[in-house]
Amino acid sequence: MRGSVRALCAVLLLVLFPFFVVALGVGGVIAGLTIGHRAGLYVAILAAGMMLALGLALVQALRTRLEPPSGPVLTRQEQPGLWRLVDELAAQAQTRPPDEIVLVGEINAAVREDARALGLKEGKRYMMIGLPLLAGLNVAELRSVLAHELGHYGGGHTRLLAVSYRGAETLGRTVSRLDSGPARWILNAYAWLYAVVSRSANRAQELQADAYSVAAAGRETAASALRKIATMDLLWEAYGDRFLGLPGLAGRTPDILLGFRNFLDHPQQRRIIAEIEPKVLDNQPSSLFDSHPTIRRRIEKIGALPEAPARPDQRPAWTVLADPARVIPAAEARLYIKGELGPRASWGEIVQLAGAASAARGAELLAGAGRASGAAPGGTLGELLAAIQHGRIDQLMSPLLKDGADPEHAREGLVELLGDVIVCALVAQRRVHHELNWGGGWLITGPQGELKIAELVAPAVRNPALVPQFAQRLAALGVRMDFVRRPPATPPAQPAGNAEPQLVGVAPEVMAFKKNWDVLVFDAGLLLVPLKVGKLAGQNLAGAVGQGGHAQRKRITRLLELGQAELFGQPGVRWLPTGTVLGGDRKKFLTGGGKIALRFTGGETATLRTQHDGAYETLTGFLDTVPQAQPAGAR
């Protein structure tokens, strides 16, 4: 009941918002006429112009429709078992089922309804199921989660959430047209009040929906699902950091969800979950602007609900799908895999190939540094060890380090890269290989078992007097001192799908070569697009009425809507490819923004200056991608 009252209050605030905008503009005009003289006329004109701009934004926002979720659609014909489950749970919640079930990439389950007439008229219903949930939950827990979401339908929450969405969209789009000034302050205060009221209603609705979850699956299963979801984000991130970069190195396509399930089932992850779960639940932030109560509070409320007969089912949640061996890889390809990785392979094969490729890359990097620095002119292992023994580590690592890098950082990087050289040599002789370890990534194993490469290399790097004994140990392992890993004679051809540079960021309003530019940052370089004086003057004029940011965003959006051929073909653009950049320096200004000074092959230089922190961070991010500017071991 309290949740419904709060939701109605949110609707009332949304209905009153157009009157608030009009009152704000009319009040400004009246105030200007009251003041009189030139200053009053100026205030009245500004207020009228602001009311017109806000009115247009308001009309656009009120016409906004909910965007359908993007992802593979699971139809009734293809997935009758899943739809039977959803229909059963919808009947228990006394509501009609969704019109579409869509798989999404996030760790989440949700429902949406494109309702009309401020939520009073029903619209198309969507249910979204996060693909990782199908690996992280069992069937009973998935049943609990879906019952919770259908409980929102049963309570009429989704129609009210559609109103809440429109309200947030209306306020957000209107306020975004203003960058500063009294009008923005007032509208921000209104938006704050709306958020407090609407989020309070959302929290009450979540607790109501949990009752449907318990009725469908029991208290223990409902609480278990909540606890798992609370920690699954961290585990998915850890899984991604350790494993999802390996298929690209290996040139193979993995079974992502199957790998995640194996990762979760490993004893190491089970120990981590047991340790972090109480901390995650205890440290969940609680705010007036949260749409959900804390998991701890929801579990407490669940414990007070009447128990319902439970259906234990420990099978992985993906077993509710028909033909999961086909459906899941197809969904993974659409949601996670960009471009072609290569043939499908087991995780064991992927780890073995990726480990060898990673070692080869590190070995090439260190050999190149030895040649560039002169510390190891041929780049051989014997020369590298001689440089270490004679105290030339800083010289050896200098091509891979930024100026002023900590010497200890050089030694840490050398331990990693020298380990890569040794592993690369042993892999080439088929004496060791990389073995899958869901607890940590991979193990390097050979005839004598695991080779702990860091423990083998680190003592000699930290104490050059141990290099002779280290060399003897390597000889016993079969590593030749004349081993060197050279890069391929010709670079591999780029895949056809990656021929075009990929946009990674935008840095507006940058001064370089005595002109103003909007800089588009690509993975292959910087594209400088001339910023005409008229456009900059127009933006400054818009800034006088608090809409400079809106004018800038509009200009950048138009640029991004151009195709690459049209974009690169604009008159006056300058292209600075990454391959010509040798490195650079950076300096942050105390007043905001900063500059980066780039050095190019051939001795040319260029300094890019900006007064905006965001643009400066984008440019420094580009500088960090320049291979010669990266610290050792940053791979």
* pLDDT confidence of residue 631: 34
Compute the average pLDDT of residues 297-322.
88
More confident residue, 558 or 411: 411
* pLDDT confidence of residue 22: 75
Compute the average pLDDT of residues 576-589.
81
- Residue-averaged pLDDT of the chain: 81
Asked if pLDDT for residue 200 goes beyond 60, the answer is yes
* pLDDT confidence of residue 630: 37
Asked if pLDDT for residue 542 goes beyond 50, the answer is no
CA neighbor of 162 nearest in space, from 66, 68, 97: 66
| Contact partners, residue 2, CB within 8 Å, separation at least 6 | 204
pLDDT band at 492 (very low <50, low <70, confident <90, very high): very low
Residue with structure tokens 């910087």?
A: 526
Asked if pLDDT for residue 198 goes beyond 50, the answer is yes
Percent of the chain with pLDDT over 70: 77
Asked which of 77-81, 194-198, 330-334, 430-434 is least confident by mean pLDDT, the reply is 194-198
| Contact partners, residue 475, CB within 8 Å, separation at least 6 | 481
pLDDT digits (tens, 9 = 90+) for 156-172: 666 666 566 556 656 66
Asked if pLDDT for residue 446 goes beyond 90, the answer is no
pLDDT digits (tens, 9 = 90+) for 102-151: 999 989 898 887 766 544 567 788 999 999 999 999 999 999 999 998 88
* pLDDT confidence of residue 612: 84
More confident residue, 385 or 110: 385
Work out the end-to-end distance of the chain between its first and last CA atoms, rounded to an integer number of angstroms: 55
More confident residue, 183 or 20: 20
Q: How far is CA 209 from CA 99, 161, 164, 239, 305, in A?
A: 20, 13, 17, 31, 12
**Which tokens hold the place of 117?**
């007439």
Asked if pLDDT for residue 474 goes beyond 50, the answer is yes
More confident residue, 98 or 208: 98
More confident residue, 3 or 380: 380
Rounded Cα distance, 9 and 7, in Å = 5
pLDDT band at 634 (very low <50, low <70, confident <90, very high): very low
Asked if pLDDT for residue 350 goes beyond 70, the answer is yes
pLDDT band at 11 (very low <50, low <70, confident <90, very high): low
* pLDDT confidence of residue 15: 65
Compute the average pLDDT of residues 16-31.
74
* pLDDT confidence of residue 267: 93
More confident residue, 371 or 113: 371
Compute the average pLDDT of residues 6-20.
66
For the question of whether the overall pTM of this predicted structure is more than 0.85, the answer is no
Compute the average pLDDT of residues 73-83.
95
pLDDT band at 543 (very low <50, low <70, confident <90, very high): very low
Asked which of 81-90, 154-163, 366-375, 604-613 is least confident by mean pLDDT, the reply is 154-163
Report the half-sphere exposure of 371 (CA within 13 A, side-chain side): 12
Q: What amino acid occupies position 447?
A: P
* pLDDT confidence of residue 357: 92
More confident residue, 163 or 326: 326
CA neighbor of 20 nearest in space, from 170, 241, 156: 170
Compute the average pLDDT of residues 587-602.
80
Asked if pLDDT for residue 184 goes beyond 70, the answer is no
Asked if pLDDT for residue 528 goes beyond 80, the answer is yes
| Contact partners, residue 563, CB within 8 Å, separation at least 6 | none
Do the Cβ atoms of 129 and 104 come closer than 8 Å?
A: yes
* pLDDT confidence of residue 127: 93
Asked if pLDDT for residue 387 goes beyond 60, the answer is yes
pLDDT band at 281 (very low <50, low <70, confident <90, very high): confident
Asked which of 114-118, 228-232, 267-271, 443-447 is least confident by mean pLDDT, the reply is 114-118
* pLDDT confidence of residue 452: 92
* pLDDT confidence of residue 430: 92
Rounded Cα distance, 327 and 321, in Å = 8
Distance of CA 347 to the CA centre of its chain: 24
